[in-house]
Amino acid sequence: MKKNLLPIMLILIILAVLYFISSRQKAPLIPADALHKNIVSNEACTVCHGPGGKTPLKSNHPPKEQCLICHESE
């Protein structure tokens, strides 16, 4: 019985790790609207989402100069 316990525990640990990795919150997609259809650089995002823009990012937003690394087009 002890021989079977170790492989079962390893499988359960691997499954738990895979579950937590897959359940990570993903960044929202870049909308497929007229305002966002020509976004090809991070600088284009800061026009509206930079400080003083129409919809600035929250202070707890991750690195603000790497938009296109996390956010993808729809």
pLDDT of residue 11: 94
pLDDT digits (tens, 9 = 90+) for 7-38: 899 999 999 998 887 766 788 899 999 999 88
Q: Cα–Cα distances in Å, from 50 out to 4, 5, 16, 40, 45?
A: 56, 54, 38, 16, 7
Domain count for the chain: 1
Contact, 31 vs 39, CB < 8 A? no
Position 1 confidence tier, pLDDT thresholds 50, 70, 90 = low
pTM of the model: 0.60
Q: Cα–Cα distances in Å, from 8 out to 18, 19, 21, 44?
A: 15, 16, 20, 51
* Cα 74 off chain centre by: 14
